Amino acid sequence: MAGVTTDKLPDPGMPEIAFAGRSNVGKSSLINALLQRKSLARTSSTPGKTQTMNFYTVNNEVCLVDLPGYGYAHVKTDFRRSWGPMIERYLRTSANLKAVFLLIDIRRIPNEDDSMMYEWVVNAGFTPIIIVTKSDKVKRSQIKKSVFDIKNALRVTADTEIFIFSAMDRSGREEILDKIEEIAGGKND
């Protein structure tokens, strides 16, 4: 996926795919890994890095939308108040939005913020596609159990797709790219 442009709104009609999840879950890191760019989407060890929606147009084909994260007390202020309406409006009104990935850290049981986000995505008419992030942070033998616990906590439907990803070793990247291409219309590079 070369040909990344940014800092402009997507062309009308361009399919959009959004990435949602708690602050620090790894949304921007995932987008960078997908795009093979080190720091196109700005990442930070400090939660709350991404505070606006960022649109990354890829190959003039699909637009990846990096949503601001939720769940961190210290991003209270005005941003926290405007965050909900901004995200919800986007999810409900974007005519080009084709799918929403919901990212969950493999080490955390989803909390009420995650469940709220899950509900918003469902209410906007999508089945959230789950990406379990930072898989390098647990032992391989622990992955299945963690994924099971995450599915349970979110009470996902049986047809929910789940990807397991690490930005460190990039495992899961190809599968996620395939899914994005399928959603965006099945075009290949």
Q: Is 48 in the site for ligand GTP (CB under 6 A)?
A: yes
Q: Is 24 in the site for Mg ion (CB under 5 A)?
A: no
Q: Given the rule CB under 5 A, which of 43-51, 53-61, 93-101, 156-164 is the region that contacts Mg ion?
A: 43-51
Q: Is 54 in the site for Mg ion (CB under 5 A)?
A: no
Q: Is 49 in the site for Mg ion (CB under 5 A)?
A: yes
Residues 73-132 that bind ligand GTP (CB under 6 A): none
Q: Given the rule CB under 5 A, which of 44-52, 130-138, 143-151, 164-172 is the region that contacts Mg ion?
A: 44-52
- Reading the block at residue 75, the tokens are 């991003």
Q: How many residues bind ligand GTP (CB under 6 A)?
A: 24
Contacts with ligand GTP, 125-164, as mask; x by CB under 6 A: --------xx-xx---------------------------
Q: Is 50 in the site for Mg ion (CB under 5 A)?
A: yes
Q: Given the rule CB under 5 A, which of 5-13, 26-34, 112-120, 176-184 is the region that contacts Mg ion?
A: 26-34
- Asked if 61 and 184 count as a contact pair (C-beta separation under 8 A), the reply is yes
DSSP secondary structure of the chain: ---EEESSPPPTT--EEEEEEBTTSSHHHHHHHHHT-SSSS---SSS----S-EEEEETTTEEEEEPPPB--GGG-HHHHHHHHHHHHHHHHH-TTEEEEEEEEETTS---HHHHHHHHHHHHTT--PEEEEE-GGGS-HHHHHHHHHHHHHHHT--TT--EEE--TTT-TTHHHHHHHHHHHHTS---
Site of interaction with ligand GTP (CB under 6 A):
21, 23-29, 43-45, 47-50, 68-69, 133-134, 136-137, 166-168
